[in-house]
Amino acid sequence: MRKDYNIGIWIIVLIFISKGYSQQAFHNYGTIQIHTDGEVGFHLDVINDGTFDQNEGFTGFYSSDDRLTISGTNRPVFFNMEIDVFDDLFLEVATGVRNFQQFTNGRVQTPRNRNRITTSLDYLSDAPYDSESDERFVDGYASLTGDLDFTFPIGDDFRLRPMRITDGASVNTSRGAYFFEDPNFPNFFPERFDTSSLATNVLAVSIFEFWDLDGNTPTQVTLTWDDNSNIPTLVEDLENLRVVGWNAETEEWESLGNTGFIGDLSNGEITSEAFVPDTYTILTFGTSELLLDGEFEIFTAVSPNGDGENDFFRIQGLANFPNNELSIFNRWGVLVYQRERYHEAQDNNGSDAFIGISEGRTTIAKGEELPVGTYYYVLKIDGRKDQAGYLYINR
Q: What residue segments make up the domains of the chain, in order of their start?
A: 5-287, 293-393
Burial 377-390 (b: 16+ CB within 10 A, else e): bebbbeeeeebebb
pTM above 0.85, yes or no: no
Measured between alpha carbons, how far is 367 from 363 in angstroms, rounded to an integer?
10
Nearest to 119 by CA among 103, 149, 99, 139: 139
Q: Give me the amino acid identity at 352.
A: D
C-alpha pair distances (Å), 393 with each of 303, 358, 366: 6, 12, 17
Q: Is 108 helix (H, G, I), strand (E, B) or coil?
A: strand
Neighbouring-strand partners of residue 95: 121
- List of residues 6+ apart from 395 with CB closer than 8 A: 303, 304, 305, 356, 372
CATH for the stretch 293-393:
2.60.40
Q: What are phi and psi of 242, to 5 degrees?
A: -135, 150
pLDDT, tens digit only, all 395 positions of the chain:
333 334 443 443 344 344 444 458 999 999 999 999 999 999 999 999 999 999 999 999 999 999 999 999 999 999 999 999 999 999 999 999 999 999 999 999 999 987 777 899 999 999 999 999 999 999 999 999 999 999 999 999 999 999 999 999 999 999 999 999 999 999 999 999 999 888 877 888 999 999 999 999 999 999 999 999 999 888 888 988 999 999 999 999 999 999 999 999 999 999 999 999 999 999 999 987 554 455 677 787 888 877 777 789 988 888 888 889 999 988 788 889 999 999 888 887 777 899 998 875 555 566 678 888 888 888 988 877 778 777 888 77
CA 227 remoteness from chain centre: 14
What's the CA gap between 286 and 199, in Å, rounded?
A: 12
Q: List, in sequence order, every residue forming a beta bridge with 327; answer none if it has no partner.
A: 338, 378
- Angle (CA) 152-157-160 rounded to 5° is 35
